[in-house]
Structure 1
Amino acid sequence: MPAAYGGFSRQPAPESVRKACGARIGATLRPAAPEGFPVIRWNILCDFDGTIAVEDVTDSLLDRFAPPEWQVLERDWRAGKIGSAECMAGQVALLNASREEIDEHLAGLRIDNAFPAFAEAALSAGATLRVVSDGLDYAIRAILARYQLDNLPVLANRLVQTGARQWKLETPFSDAHCRIGSGHCKCASAVREHNRHHRVLLIGDGASDFCAAGEADYVFAKHRLIEHCRHAAIPHASIVGFADAIALLPALLAGKLYTPRRVLAPV
């Protein structure tokens, strides 16, 4: 990745992270483990809107390109009258914008300045990193591409253009048993990530992350997710942004942040 892109300078991961990863950033070495014990490797599931991105990208599109009726659907969702998939499908149908206008708007949105360094450190440590979002895949990929992060897997709702200025929502990651009717059931995604040699770290900030937090081994929580984790006694660390996540990464890799809730089988 280039030293600077998207108008932001890339900061290298701190030396503490490099040492915890067992190698300099960019190498392929993995963290060591005592003989007879499995290496603790992590599947990291990271929310996008309000977590990687500094604002809610979907709401910003609706604010600019949809009539005020989108807020009625938002209120119905917050009141529990409809699920998030129904809410967002209705909102996306209200968008009145060309692809060029969408692209121009997305070009003005930014991510947490420390996220690229976090991604590099986590991947160098042997973790997998996936973006899991109840937002829009097209928007997420367009923004990540500006930061040379378009190689990250993105699991999100699909934004499909149906006319010159019309759009619809598709939900390839929905689940019939989702408790909150999400377009992307992050809880199901977290369950799929579990395997006997990997633990799951969730990084998120809001209601769409609540269920998945209960399935994760550990959570880096922002905003509303902090209080949810406290109330539900979910092992977590509160963060303001990815600078905090980078600082916590060595302790996570060393197994010092949490008491495991599931046993990893020997390798």
Structure 2
Amino acid sequence: MTKRIVIFCDFDGTITEKDNILDIMKHFAPPQWKKIVDDIFAKKKSLREGVGELFSLIPSEKQQELTGYVVQNARIRDGFGEFVTFCKEQNIHLLVTSNGIDFFIHPILAPFEDIEKIYCNESDFSGDTVRILWPHPCDEYCGVDCGMCKTTVIRSYKNDDFKVVIGDSLTDLEGAKIADAVIARSYLKEKCEELGIEHESFTDFYDCIRALKTMKERLVG
């Protein structure tokens, strides 16, 4: 096989069963967070702008409480550990690409040492409220103001890589449009069906393993 497989896997709602940012907002933020989320989905605010505003509602003094809450309450989707092992055994490059935040992603994923790289936003708790940092901004080909730009990350890998997007949400849609293959659930699955983007569906990571086995067979064939 000449092409290597590189996976760009979402975190919130994909690796974990629910969206951890929304969970944080429901538990820690004042009511105005709901309007900000509505504006993001209505595309009145960019992801970067909206996520930054959401966390600015939360005092920095709650850092330990925030992290503890998410780590305690996040549930990893079934089969993810086996999926990580499968990728390592098959020499598949597994990257996590998330618009989530480092203070909860890194501790949740700490047990999965074979993940090749984690791309996510960073946090600053030095001020009065939580400030989000953006180490992976959009390149000149993306004008969506993503915050953590998944399409920029995807484009940074070789053109001859076989690029697979796994995800569930709005943040994965633009990446799905330029990937070689898509494994989708929830909102992303619905949009792929609406836009005619070829995809496999999943409910757990055992489904993802089966889909990748089929992709490997086609590439070898």
- TM-score normalized with structure 1 length: 0.76
Task: Please show how residues 112-131 of structure 1 align to structure 2 within 5 Å.
Answer: 112-131=77-96
1:77 aligns with 2:40: yes
Letter in 2 for 1:104: G
State the distance in 2 between where 1:243 and 1:61 align. Answer: 28
State the distance in 1 between where 2:27 and 2:113 align. Answer: 26
Map of 1:184 onto structure 2:
148
- Residue by residue over 1:163-191, the C-alpha shift from the partner in whole angstroms, topping out at 9 and shown as x without a partner, is 4x631011111115534321111111111
State the distance in 2 between where 1:151 and 1:242 align. Answer: 15
Secondary structure at the counterpart of residue 193 of structure 1: coil
2:215 to 243, 252, 255: 252
**Contact kept? 1:194, 1:200, Cα under 8 Å:** no
Secondary structure at the counterpart of residue 129 of structure 1: strand
Secondary structure at the counterpart of residue 58 of structure 2: coil
Map of 1:102 onto structure 2:
66
Task: Please show how residues 127-146 of structure 1 align to structure 2 within 5 Å.
Answer: 127-145=92-110
Map of 2:172 onto structure 1:
209
Secondary structure at the counterpart of residue 49 of structure 1: coil
- Residue by residue over 1:2-34, the C-alpha shift from the partner in whole angstroms, topping out at 9 and shown as x without a partner, is xxxxxxxxxxxxxxxxxxxxxxxxxxxxxxx4x
- Residue by residue over 1:129-154, the C-alpha shift from the partner in whole angstroms, topping out at 9 and shown as x without a partner, is 11001111221111112x34485411
2:6 to 13, 20, 43: 43
**CA RMSD, Structure 1 to Structure 2 (Å):** 2.1
How far does residue 87 in structure 1 lie from its aligned partner after superposition? 0.4
Q: Could you tell which deviates more after superposition, 187-196 or 200-209?
A: 187-196
State the distance in 2 between where 1:221 and 1:123 align. Answer: 21
How far does residue 230 in structure 1 lie from its aligned partner after superposition? 2.1
State which structure, 1 or 2, has the greater radius of gyration over its C-alpha atoms.
1
1:91 aligns with 2:54: yes
Structure 1 unmatched runs, 5+: 1-32, 257-267
**Contact kept? 2:5, 2:93, Cα under 8 Å:** yes
**Contact kept? 1:42, 1:200, Cα under 8 Å:** yes
Structure 2 unmatched runs, 5+: none
- Residue by residue over 1:68-123, the C-alpha shift from the partner in whole angstroms, topping out at 9 and shown as x without a partner, is 11112111212221101000101111113522212220221121131111011012
Map of 1:162 onto structure 2:
126
Secondary structure at the counterpart of residue 154 of structure 1: strand
Map of 1:62 onto structure 2:
25
**Contact kept? 1:110, 1:143, Cα under 8 Å:** no
How far does residue 212 in structure 1 lie from its aligned partner after superposition? 0.4
Q: Could you tell which deviates more after superposition, 83-92 or 241-250?
A: 241-250
Map of 1:265 onto structure 2:
none
State the distance in 2 between where 1:75 and 1:53 align. Answer: 22
State the distance in 2 between where 1:189 and 1:64 align. Answer: 31
Map of 2:183 onto structure 1:
220
Q: Percent identity?
A: 29
**Contact kept? 1:141, 1:150, Cα under 8 Å:** no
State the distance in 2 between where 1:103 and 1:136 align. Answer: 10
Secondary structure at the counterpart of residue 18 of structure 2: coil
Secondary structure at the counterpart of residue 13 of structure 2: helix
